[in-house]
């Protein structure tokens, strides 16, 4: 029966129509829009008396039309991947990269921006408008505007190569992940795995007309096995399959091997930085961030490692001692660590992840999340039903304040085939003022890969998944709550990459607050919130093995930074050697030789975090420090919430992130709050 749509539920936001996206027509439509962008900029530059309004805003309008067309296509490639959409996405990305390079190296356009900057009326522009002009001039220089023609051509080819290699890397990881599965007929082989996870494995088998249970390398399934399964051989099998994805030893073997792509990508980035006059790609990357230099970042990461590793070694020893005590384990392998860690956690705190799930059904968590932002920022969220979607799992919502709709978002929570792993927020549309003072409202894509519902029951989230949801929603708030009306610095645009995680990590804190958990949680059967005794156990267990988690992230961040500082194409196997050096310096758990994490490290090779993975820890310092102000005034103190909204969330990239943080806190950030929050002394 068709749902009756009430008038009050009709969307007030301009959502794209996913049903209209035909892969056969994407490239022709894209080329038409690209031609309009080229022609529009060219014709405008031929006019006299160029200004912010008739040049910069005009360029913004042209590029926004391109972004609105391409964002849904790019999103489909990530969440509903197939051969047709992958092909047009790959080809389209090359054409968009070419266009962006042309714009970045357009000397006449650069001269026009400089003319605006030097004009008498520049000082009368609004601060966000000034920032757009200054950022553009900076980006022109970083894109090689000052280079001779032959160097510009080399730069263009390198950018195209980097784009293609990044896409190939991502596709190989996805294909390799999906190339592995295992049918298990005897449930005794899966002993220890929680009932909810077993039900999902059984449902996955039924969906493919198979008997028994189907295991995959999607994160919900992988984690259930590696953390809970008593079958050590099976844990090892999944651990090695997951850690050898996109390698010659892993699922799909040579067909999806990223081993050759990684050095080619690193070398292209090195050449790009060299042409632009930087010593290495890390220095180029840092030129647009809060951090001052790669050396400062490496020092920051090593300081955290120095303060965390002794405690991490102690935590690992406790796990080893526990495994020896209960199972007489003399040697703990990497696929044993998470398993015995969870056993020890349950023994110490008597808290079961599977039992906790029953208190976090998705509908209750969502209403609780929306209550948190209502108390903090006076926001209301309402589901709408008249928007076209790419899958039945997807929900759509609108956010309003003072009765006025200000943004919309898509929510795609569950793991499935042909969907990229991980969790992320992406722009669908950005807030900007259009012609005739019309306002385009922001729209966000919020994507996760949680365990889905079993049968007709609501999906149940682990507490860790609740944290992930709050994290991604924090990114969404940064995008959707902006009050900036010029697209290049609206929402997350123009924000320093190492400050981009501040709002997301800030939101995670509410998953630990008793006052918030009272309405975030509600038992699947009774509806009762998480009882005090369970909350106390949850909070007591919060920093269990937190130092091990810290050094694991520092391992990734230090590897990323050193790789982009030190990479030398003449050194054989340098990537693997650097990975091992970093592990020897900061890690406490070392995987076997065939385990090639770098071959599936999508964050830095295809996800925008190249020489920027440190941003998670950098921004965690900011978020922990900022949250301390809420702890002092009250976690739902409206005045503090309004101040955070006004200083951080609404300003986008219109002001430097360091200045916004200082405005909110009244001082520079301190590392102490992060260490205290993680229980590291």
Cα–Cα distance for residue pair 63/486, rounded to 1 Å: 12
**Residue 484, H or E segment:** none
Tokens of 643: 């101040």
If we measure between CA atoms, which residue out of 664, 653, 500, 643 comes closest to residue 128?
653
Could you tell me the CA-to-CA distances from 6 to 9, 189, 249, 385 in Å, in that order? Answer: 5, 51, 55, 9
Q: Which helix (H) or strand (E) holds 184?
A: strand 181-184
* Long-range pairs, 335-341, Cβ under 8 A, ≥24: 335/226, 335/232, 335/235, 335/236, 335/238, 335/239, 335/240, 336/232, 336/235, 337/589, 338/226, 338/227, 339/226, 339/227, 339/228, 339/229, 339/232, 339/235, 341/545, 341/548
Q: Is 472 a catalytic residue?
A: yes
Show the tokens assigned to 668: 């520079």
Tell me which residue of 576, 573, 579 sits closest to 556, measured CA to CA. Answer: 579
Sign, Cα dihedral of 469, 178, 612, 91: negative
- Residues sharing a CB contact under 8 Å with residue 255, sequence separation 6 or more, in sequence order: 175
- The neighbour count for residue 539, using CB atoms within 10 Å, is 14
Give the whole-angstrom CA distance, residue 484 versus residue 650: 7
The single residue of 427, 472, 501, 585 carrying the catalytic annotation is: 472
Whose structure tokens read 């220089």? Answer: 141
261 vs 174: CA distance, rounded Å:
15
Beta strands in 451-595 (DSSP E): none
**Could you tell me where the DSSP H helices lie in 229-293?**
232-243, 261-275, 281-286
DSSP state of 361: B
Question: Which residue numbers are catalytic?
Answer: 472
């Amino acid at each position: 029966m068709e749902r009756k749509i009430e008038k009050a539920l009709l969307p007030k936001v301009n959502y794209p129509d996913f049903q209209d996206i035909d892969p056969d027509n994407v490239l022709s439509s894209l080329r038409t829009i690209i031609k309009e962008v080229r022609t529009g900029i060219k014709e405008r530059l031929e006019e006299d008396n160029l200004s912010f309004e008739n040049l910069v805003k005009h360029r913004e309008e042209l590029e926004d039309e391109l972004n609105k067309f391409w964002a849904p296509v790019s999103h489909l490639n990530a969440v509903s991947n197939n051969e047709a959409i992958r092909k047009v996405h790959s080809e389209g990305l090359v054409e968009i990269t070419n266009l962006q390079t042309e714009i970045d190296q357009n000397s006449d356009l650069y001269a026009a921006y400089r003319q605006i900057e030097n004009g008498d009326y520049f000082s009368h522009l609004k601060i966000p408008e000034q920032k757009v002009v200054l950022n553009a001039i900076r980006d022109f220089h970083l894109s090689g505007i000052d280079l001779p023609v032959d160097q510009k051509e080399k730069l263009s080819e390198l950018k195209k190569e980097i784009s293609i290699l990044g896409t190939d890397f991502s596709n190989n990881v996805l294909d390799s992940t999906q190339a592995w599965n295992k049918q298990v007929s005897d449930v005794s082989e899966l002993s220890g795995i929680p009932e909810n996870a077993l039900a999902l494995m059984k449902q996955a088998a039924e969906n493919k007309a198979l008997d028994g249970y189907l295991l995959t390398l999607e994160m919900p399934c992988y984690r259930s096995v590696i953390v809970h399964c008593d079958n050590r051989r099976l844990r090892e099998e999944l651990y090695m399959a997951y850690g050898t994805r996109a390698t010659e030893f892993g699922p799909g073997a040579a067909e999806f091997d990223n081993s050759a792509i990684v050095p080619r990508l690193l070398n292209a980035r090195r050449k790009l930085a060299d042409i632009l006059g930087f010593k290495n790609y890390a220095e180029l990357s840092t030129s647009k961030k809060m951090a001052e230099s790669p050396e400062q970042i490496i020092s920051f990461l090593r300081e955290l490692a120095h303060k965390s590793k002794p405690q991490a070694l102690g935590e690992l020893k406790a796990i080893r001692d526990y495994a020896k005590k209960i199972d007489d384990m003399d040697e703990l392998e990497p696929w044993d660590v998470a398993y015995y860690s969870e056993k020890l956690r349950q023994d110490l705190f008597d808290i079961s992840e599977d039992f906790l799930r029953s208190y976090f059904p998705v509908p209750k968590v969502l209403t609780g999340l929306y209550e948190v932002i209502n108390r903090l920022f006076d926001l209301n969220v309402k589901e709408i039903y008249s928007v076209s979607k790419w899958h039945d799992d997807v929900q759509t919502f609108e956010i309003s304040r003072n009765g006025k709709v200000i943004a919309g978002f898509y929510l795609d929570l569950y793991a499935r085939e042909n969907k990229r792993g991980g969790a992320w927020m992406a722009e669908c549309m950005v807030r900007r003022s259009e012609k005739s003072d019309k306002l385009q409202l922001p729209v966000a894509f919020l994507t996760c890969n949680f365990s889905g519902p079993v049968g007709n029951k609501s999906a149940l989230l682990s507490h860790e998944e609740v944290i992930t949801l709050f994290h991604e929603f924090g990114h969404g708030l940064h995008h959707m709550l902006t009050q900036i009306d010029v697209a290049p610095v609206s929402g997350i645009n123009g924000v320093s990459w190492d400050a981009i995680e501040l709002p997301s990590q800030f939101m995670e804190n509410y998953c630990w607050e008793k006052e918030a958990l009272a309405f975030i949680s509600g038992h699947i059967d009774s509806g009762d919130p998480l009882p005090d005794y369970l909350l106390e156990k949850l909070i007591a267990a919060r920093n269990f093995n937190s130092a091990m988690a810290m050094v694991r992230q520092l391992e990734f961040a230090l590897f990323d930074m050193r790789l982009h500082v030190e990479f030398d194409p003449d050194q054989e196997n340098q990537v693997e050697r650097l990975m091992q050096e970093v592990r020897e310096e900061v890690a406490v758990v070392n995987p076997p030789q065939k385990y090639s994490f770098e071959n599936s490290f999508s964050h830095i090779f295809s996800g925008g975090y190249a020489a920027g993975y440190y941003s998670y820890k950098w921004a965690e310092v900011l978020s922990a420090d900022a949250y301390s102000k809420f702890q002092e005034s009250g976690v739902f103190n409206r005045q503090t919430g309004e101040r955070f909204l006004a200083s951080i969330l609404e300003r986008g990239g219109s002001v430097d992130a360091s200045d916004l943080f200082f405005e909110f806190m009244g001082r520079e950030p301190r590392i102490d709050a992060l260490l205290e929050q993680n229980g590291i002394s």
